[in-house]
A and B are shown apart, each in its own frame.
Chain A
C-alpha cells in the first residue's frame, strides 16, 4: 500500500531529506519517535550521517519494490554489499543498529561474519584496525 505521507529527516551532519513515511518506518527508532508527537514539518533528527543514510535508503527502496522476486533480491544484496568498503560496512552496521531495522541489521552482520570467518587473528586485527595488546602470559587460560 503506497502512502503519500512524507517525512523530513535530518542527519547528524546537518543534511535534510524527505522520505515516504512507510519506508522510513522500516526503522523502529524512527517509527517510535514519530508515533507520539506531531512533528509539524520540523525535520526529525537522526543519529546517522548522510553517506550511510543514502546506502540505507537504497536498500530500503529495493526491498520495498512490488513484485520483486527472492532471487532478484538476493542478487541485489550480493552486489550491494560487495561494493562496500570495510569501513562503509561497519558504519552501516552501527547505523542500522541505531535505526533498529532487524532485516537489514541481520544482513549486514552476516556480511561482517563472512569477512571474519576463516581469518587468522592478525587478519582480524587488520580488518578492524585493532592494536595487538595481547602478551603471551595474558593468552594463557
Chain B
C-alpha cells in the first residue's frame, strides 16, 4: 500500500475513534455548515454529493463545522486569547489535521469535575445563567471558581446583554439630581414608580462643579465631571457599581466641550 493510502486509512481510523460515536450530531453539524454556506460553490457541490460521500469525508466536514464554531467562540473572547491557544496547539503538534482533532476533542469533551457540579455542558449553563438579572449573577460568582470564570467571561456578558436588550423589565431610566445623586427607575410601566433606587456613584472623583451624562451604551454610562480647572471622564456600570476613570489626553484646561466632542474623544482614546 502506498504512503497516501496508509495515511488516509490512519486518518480514517483516527476520525472514527474521536468522531465516530455521535453520528446523528456530527451529521447534523456537517449538514448545517454546508447549508449555511450553500452560496459557496464547494459547499453546494458537497451538499449535492452528500449521500455518496464516504463516511470519512462526512466526519471531516463535521470536524470543520466544529472548528468554525470553536473559532467564532475564540474570536469573541478576544484575539489575544485566540493567539495564545493557537500558538500552544501549534507548538504541541505541526500536522494540521492533528490540530483540528485536538481542538475538537478539547471542545467536545469538557471534563465534568466536582467544581462544575452536574454534567452540564458549558453552553447549557451559559444559556440558563444568561436569563438571570445582574444582581443574582454577581452573587453567584462566588459559587465556585468555574462559575466565577463563566460569569466574568466576555462571551457570557455579550450573551446576557443580547438576551436582556429588549426586555422592558431590564431596562432602566437613569436620572441625575443635584449633580451628585443618581436615581434609577425601571422602564416597565408596572414598576415605574415603585422601583426607584438611589445609586451611589463612585467616590474616587475629585471635587467638581458640573456633572454631565454624556451617553450610554450596553448598560454602561459615560459621565463627565467638570470643575474650573479640570475634567474627569468616568465610565460607570450602574448595575454592578463598577467604574473606571478614563484617561483624557490633549484637553485644554477648563474648556467645556460639547457632548458630541466628548463622545468622539472617548471613541478615539
Q: State in angstroms the CA–CA spacing of A28 and B128 once bound together.
A: 20
B148 and A134 form a contact (CB under 8 A): yes
Contact between chains at B25 and A121 (CB < 8 Å): no
Pairwise interchain contact A131-B120, C-beta atoms closer than 8 A: no
State how many angstroms separate the Cβ of B134 from the closest Cβ of chain A: 13
A130 to chain B, nearest CB (A): 4
Q: Known contacts being A87-B118, A109-B131, A130-B116, is A139 close to B141, with CB within 8 Å? A: yes
Per-residue interface assignment for chain A, residues 89 to 123, with 1 indicating a CB less than 8 Å from any chain B CB and 0 otherwise:
01001100110100000000110110011101100
Contacting residues of chain B (128-164) with chain A, CB-CB under 8 angstroms: 128, 131-132, 136, 139-145, 147-148
Q: Which residues of the partner chain A approach B145 to less than 8 Å between Cβ atoms? A: 133-134, 138
Report the number of A-B residue pairs with Cβ-Cβ less than 8 Å.
99
Which residues of B lie under 8 Å from residue A87 when comparing CB positions?
118
Q: A80: which B residues are within 8 A, CB to CB?
A: none
Which among B23, B114, B132, B143 has the greatest number of chain A C-beta atoms within 10 A?
B143
Task: Let me know if B24 and A47 touch, CB within 8 A.
Answer: yes
Q: A132 at the A/B interface (Cβ < 8 Å)?
A: yes
Number of A residues, CB within 8 Å of B: 38
Residues in A whose Cβ lies below 8 Å from that of B132? 113, 116-117
Interface CB pairs A-B, < 8 A, 22: A28-B28, A29-B25, A32-B27, A32-B28, A32-B32, A36-B27, A36-B50, A44-B24, A46-B24, A94-B121, A98-B25, A100-B28, A109-B127, A109-B131, A113-B132, A116-B128, A116-B132, A121-B139, A121-B143, A125-B144, A129-B117, A134-B143
